Structure 1
Amino acid sequence: MTSLKQLFDASRSRLTPVYGGSEASWLLRIIMEHIKGWNQVELLMRADKEVSDFTVTRVNEVIDRLLAYEPIQYIFGDTYWHGMTLKVSPAVLIPRPETEELVDIITKDNPQPDLKVLDVCTGSGCIAVALAKFMNFPEVTAIDISDRAIAVAKENAALQKVKVDFQTADALDLGAALTAKYDIIVSNPPYVMDKEKSAMDANVLDHEPAIALFVPDSDPLKFYKAIADYAADALTDGGRLYFELNPLTADSLKDWMQQSGWRDVSLLPDLHAKTRFMIARK
């Protein structure tokens, strides 16, 4: 029989060459939490206890998938983000910590109740669900071009017990689907340029949906411009537009926004000091 410590040590040895020691340990904690329901304290207490052959087999199956660069969030179908456990699938991007910062910016800027919010390119619904949960009684609408993504987003809203109006629509042609006025429009649209692919990890390139990631090098601002053009009519007077950005194109977008008549256009850094967010006022 194998002890938990022996299983951990052998598993960490397999994962470390690909993920590094600290991430390997983090992955193993996630694996055991999902397979056995044990937290970190329980893992320490059980270190010398024997584990079943079934557990060893299940752990090794997950490690095989991790070594093929499949994200652990897709393996188990969920991720912990902004204090919530959200469902994810290969139909949606895995929510990033930077997007948590965007949610915090919006909630801090907008404490008043009953605001109407539109989330464009909602994906997993993480932004829409978080705003519905943490803002003061907002009315939230969220759109995505992917029916599969909308299905995941609806599941997340149900799990978090919040109300969001999810609709299938094209971010490049919002006027064809939406007629309401909004106090806030937010989007984390596709913004990674094709030329950046060579620097990206295999777990992103091979598993996350390209439609939610990439834009052509010849037109990297296509989603921002389309959404901003729509927002110019769809926002209430004084309404705010929030974007998550590619740091490589942030300055170009700011220049275009200012030339297009937007007021109070500002760029904000993320926690890694990269230009990551834009706020503009109608």
Structure 2
Amino acid sequence: MTLGQSIAETRKRLEPHYSDGEARALVREILFRLKGWTPVDIAVKADEPVSGFIQSKISEAVDRLLRDEPVQYIFRRATFYGLDFTVTPDVLIPRPETAELVDIIVGDHSGQSDLRVADLCTGSGCIACALARNLPFAEVTAIDISEPAIAVARENASQLKVDVDVRRDDVLALTPPEAPLYDIIVSNPPYITQSEKTSVDANVLLYEPHSALFVPDTDPLLFYEAIGLYAVKALAPRHSLYLEINPLHAEALRDMLARQGWHDIDLRRDTSGKLRFAIATRTS
């Protein structure tokens, strides 16, 4: 069987479960992860034979995809902000929206160096590592309560050769410091309410860690309240808190941050037009 024939067969198996575009993207990802082939390589090698071993690995990956398992967990790899991360079912798969948040932070601090950064609810460490790579000489701390997530974040920092201090702590119980510790605090905490589960894709609901996704219907701002109260003391004056948020609770979040004493609270939309980010500044 040639590579071209293998690709056609693989797409045929995937397309009843995925759209044509998704099937094409998944085939490209499978071949990249198995062989390191780019789309150009795939085009050049279309008439070359595929070994039985590689075909069996492709078939195995497709079997798992048809059970809704994310391709990132199948190969334990995800690309985020131009970097290649280890991901396991102990951590969320990095999303494009989160990369937009990193973009905002990097853009806001262009030309600055030696910034002190805290990433709360770090998960895989994708935000912390991306900022460590893109903010010159930044001192980055990453915090999460999950031991397995901490292990993944440390592995990513080591593999990417970035200086990130990964610590285990409960973001819901952080003690505010007596003096400011950071110039940037960022978080993408759990923010999907239990009642929203019915709208969550099967691959997310079945495989990604619920503790990193869901909050009670009765307390949708649970993490934001704790983070805001900590950050208003831990952040240096005239510096900002950056949050990825649930669009359904954006206005309530802004009101809560204002009550905590935050100023210049800016709700921003992602590229799909949803209110996805909140940026709040400590002025004194």
| TM-score, scaled relative to structure 1 | 0.96
The corresponding residue for 1:269 is 269
What is the Cα deviation at residue 279 of structure 1?
0.6
Runs (4+) of structure 1 exceeding 4 A deviation are 176-180
What is the Cα deviation at residue 5 of structure 1?
1.6
The corresponding residue for 2:51 is 52
Distance 1:179 1:264, change over 3 A: closer
The corresponding residue for 2:256 is 256
The corresponding residue for 2:26 is 27
The corresponding residue for 1:104 is 103
Q: In the alignment, residue 203 of structure 1 is paired with which amino acid?
A: N
Is the 1:169–1:177 contact (alpha carbons within 8 Å) kept by the matching residues of 2?
no
Is the 1:118–1:186 contact (alpha carbons within 8 Å) kept by the matching residues of 2?
yes
Structure 2 portions without partners, runs of 5+: none
Distance 1:129 1:79, change over 3 A: same
Is the 1:265–1:278 contact (alpha carbons within 8 Å) kept by the matching residues of 2?
yes
My pick for the range that moved more, 177-186 or 143-152, is 177-186
Q: In the alignment, residue 154 of structure 1 is paired with which amino acid?
A: R
Q: Percent identity?
A: 52
What is the Cα deviation at residue 36 of structure 1?
2.2
Is the 2:180–2:236 contact (alpha carbons within 8 Å) kept by the matching residues of 1?
no
Distance in 2, matches of 1:179 and 1:207, equals: 40
My pick for the range that moved more, 59-68 or 33-42, is 33-42
What value does the CA root-mean-square deviation take over the aligned residues? 1.5
Q: Secondary structure at the match of 2:174?
A: helix
Distance in 2, matches of 1:176 and 1:92, equals: 26
Distance 1:106 1:46, change over 3 A: same
Structure 1 portions without partners, runs of 5+: none
Deviations 1:35-78 (A, max 9, x none): 22222112112222221222221111110000001100010011
Is the 2:91–2:123 contact (alpha carbons within 8 Å) kept by the matching residues of 1?
yes
Q: In the alignment, residue 71 of structure 2 is paired with which amino acid?
A: I
Q: Secondary structure at the match of 1:128?
A: helix
My pick for the range that moved more, 119-128 or 40-49, is 40-49
My pick for the range that moved more, 58-67 or 101-110, is 101-110
Distance 1:37 1:29, change over 3 A: same
Distance 1:179 1:53, change over 3 A: farther
Is the 2:124–2:150 contact (alpha carbons within 8 Å) kept by the matching residues of 1?
yes
The corresponding residue for 2:118 is 118
Distance in 1, matches of 2:81 and 2:226, equals: 28
| TM-score, scaled relative to structure 2 | 0.96
The corresponding residue for 1:220 is 220
Is the 2:176–2:234 contact (alpha carbons within 8 Å) kept by the matching residues of 1?
no
Q: Which aligned pairs between 1:71-110 and structure 2 lie closer than 5 A?
A: 71-110=70-109
- 1:6 and 2:5 matched: yes
- 1:240 and 2:231 matched: no
Is the 2:2–2:47 contact (alpha carbons within 8 Å) kept by the matching residues of 1?
yes
What is the Cα deviation at residue 153 of structure 1?
0.7
Q: Secondary structure at the match of 2:237?
A: strand
What is the Cα deviation at residue 177 of structure 1?
9.7
Is the 2:228–2:260 contact (alpha carbons within 8 Å) kept by the matching residues of 1?
no
Distance in 2, matches of 1:148 and 1:179, equals: 31
Is the 2:269–2:275 contact (alpha carbons within 8 Å) kept by the matching residues of 1?
yes
Q: In the alignment, residue 40 of structure 2 is paired with which amino acid?
A: V
What is the Cα deviation at residue 178 of structure 1?
10
